[in-house]
A and B are shown apart, each in its own frame.
Chain A
């Protein structure tokens, strides 16, 4: 796993993004580090307002321009800093081609007045792997159209959609939520991207359908060697699918580790509390006291310190640096759980 990690596809370093609000500047991302290796499914886990969606959008370059300010940091994708690049080049070459998106709500991502087939055709005009970047309409020749159609059909078969011809003729409201999400995954795969950003892709689905979609995503990612950024609020879902997990809290990343290591030895007190608040028959119910902090005037130092059992004076003063526990496991905490004991031994 640590071998694969060295071959980084995406490396986000010290990213700071603020949103102008009436109450002042909200520090939605505050010095976030996040990495994805080639071919892995990297989970970004956190509760509402932790900044996981903002990070996903920043990588895609689709932050609301009027409100969001990128204050510091870099987003290095395949060796290039995306924040340095011309937005038009990003639009033409990167977004929807090398990086694609699977949204939480597949319904609102389709235009309700066109058939699904027409919308996929339109996508292929611009973003099929054969299309020259930035040309689109002008060069959509018959041969390419035929090749694209064959590719679409094959891929829809791969995502296990029944009756492909029927589905292409249908309107978005005529297919079920699970099928829409299969379509979104197929559409995200069509341009043969290097990275798929999946923002809570199974949150709106029933558990059995969620299981099917997770299974599908896992298989396709492995078969095609594509990396996936998978955001979720549910550690259980992250356990099911992710190779590597990063937990975020109030705009900062707090812990990162390979999945098995992460669940075997969680280090950060927030990760621990989050795991403990999952419903479990054996442990009873344990919430986390207090509230998620506001982002306009967040607590200083470690943002989790007001809710943390282990907090000491230093936690309120400066943000903890990165502690490395080996095998790719890092956390930002002055008092990582279980570490002192192991070190003493």
Chain B
């Protein structure tokens, strides 16, 4: 195990789902992840952004072993975990955890919070009842939940509290990498802010690394160190958050940023140029998948699929004309 290598590495990971017709005959492939390569460094927060259907949730679930990848390699702490089922690699997986978009639904409705919080310890450790209790209490304190909540059922607590429980549940295992899937969706802004602060606080406290999967770019900009922008199963831009946000090199990133409502800046109702909707993911255009909606598109874009290339130090994009995009930004 190399200490300085990336904590998690994805090498050309593909996840294809078969599209079947009414007679269960396969009629095509839905390429939810297509040749995704990423490194997650120890201690960083990597944001994965994109709109619905871009594959960001599939990415999380494939790393977790819930979906088996169609091709490629997933390496975690130097070990290949590509084809391991979650329970087959318990020791390793313990270090790698995932929080669900809807934490209320990820808790068994018939179990009290106490039992749900204990479950990971029962699965992964030989701790006795008393030690388990001590650990749960400690984590509960870290996520600022009162102990009285242990005896409630999931539907009896609020959305923000469910999120805290979801976090507490995986933190009992002392993971090194946590994948947060849409961790702020459905929360009111005032609650969202406290939850974000909690993430940062827990990261410091437990030495965590986060993969932060979100559609909310303003949140990502605020808390992520690096960001990967996905469009229809492909990473189209990858770099340090500030570089990507202040000087986007892919036209899609640029339109995504322009669409965020920002108080005090120009209004999208006056100036937004992206037209149309993403093409059917089962029937993608040739070459660059964004070309059908892109202002910069020309013949070359319909040819080969543009690869993700590091055109600037630590800032990669998958656009043949990214320099032109940057000139146009100015």
Q: With A263-B264, A278-B189, A287-B197 known to touch, is A207 a contact of B256 (CB < 8 Å)?
A: yes
Chain B residues at the A interface, C-beta cutoff of 8 Å: 51-52, 158, 188-194, 196-197, 200, 215-219, 221-222, 255-256, 258-264, 267-269, 272, 274-277
Q: With A212-B274, A215-B272, A280-B218 known to touch, is A234 a contact of B189 (CB < 8 Å)?
A: yes
Whether, in the assembled complex, A164 has its beta carbon less than 8 Å from a beta carbon of chain B, the answer is no
Contact present for B263 and A275 (CB under 8 Å): yes
A279 to B194, CA, bound (A): 11
Contact present for A277 and B192 (CB under 8 Å): yes
Out of A177, A215, A233, A279, name the residue touching B218 (CB < 8 Å): A279
Q: A47-B189, A291-B158 are in contact. List 7 more A-B contacts (CB 8 A).
A: A48-B188, A278-B218, A279-B218, A281-B222, A285-B197, A286-B193, A287-B194
Chain A interface residue count, CB cutoff 8 Å, equals: 41
Q: What residue of chain B has the Cβ atom nearest to residue A160's Cβ?
A: B275
Contact present for A176 and B277 (CB under 8 Å): yes
Shortest CB–CB separation between residue A184 and chain B, in angstroms? 16
Contact present for B272 and A277 (CB under 8 Å): no
Contact present for A212 and B272 (CB under 8 Å): yes
Contact present for A211 and B259 (CB under 8 Å): yes
Out of B190, B200, B218, B275, name the residue touching A273 (CB < 8 Å): B190
Q: Which residues of B contact A149 (CB under 8 A)?
A: none
Whether, in the assembled complex, A66 has its beta carbon less than 8 Å from a beta carbon of chain B, the answer is no
Whether, in the assembled complex, A179 has its beta carbon less than 8 Å from a beta carbon of chain B, the answer is yes
Contact present for B190 and A277 (CB under 8 Å): yes
Whether, in the assembled complex, A21 has its beta carbon less than 8 Å from a beta carbon of chain B, the answer is no
Contact present for B269 and A240 (CB under 8 Å): yes
Q: Which of A211, A214, A273, A291 has the most CB of B within 10 A?
A: A211
A233 to B222, CA, bound (A): 20
Contact present for A236 and B190 (CB under 8 Å): no
A219 to B264, CA, bound (A): 21
Q: Which of B188, B258, B276 has the most CB of A within 10 A?
A: B188
A207 to B261, CA, bound (A): 9
A208 to B261, CA, bound (A): 10
Q: Which residues of A contact B192 (CB under 8 A)?
A: 277, 279, 287
Out of A207, A239, A278, A281, name the residue touching B267 (CB < 8 Å): A239
Q: Which residues of A contact B263 (CB under 8 A)?
A: 235-236, 239, 263, 275, 278
Contact present for B256 and A208 (CB under 8 Å): yes
A-B contact pairs, 13 of them (CB 8 A): A48-B188, A178-B277, A209-B51, A211-B268, A215-B268, A236-B261, A237-B261, A274-B190, A279-B221, A280-B222, A287-B190, A287-B194, A291-B158
Q: Which of B189, B196, B219, B275 has the most CB of A within 10 A?
A: B189
A292 to B189, CA, bound (A): 12
Shortest CB–CB separation between residue A297 and chain B, in angstroms? 17
Interface string of A250-288 (1 = CB under 8 A from B): 000000000000010000000001110111110001111
Chain A, range 183-234, C-beta contacts under 8 Å to B: 206-212, 214-215, 218-219, 233-234
Shortest CB–CB separation between residue B240 and chain A, in angstroms? 13
Q: With A211-B259, A239-B267 known to touch, is A292 a contact of B188 (CB < 8 Å)?
A: yes
Q: Which residues of A contact B255 (CB under 8 A)?
A: 208
Q: What residue of chain B has the Cβ atom nearest to residue A280's Cβ?
A: B222
Whether, in the assembled complex, A296 has its beta carbon less than 8 Å from a beta carbon of chain B, the answer is no
Q: Which residues of B contact A280 (CB under 8 A)?
A: 218, 222
Q: Which residues of B contact A241 (CB under 8 A)?
A: 267, 269
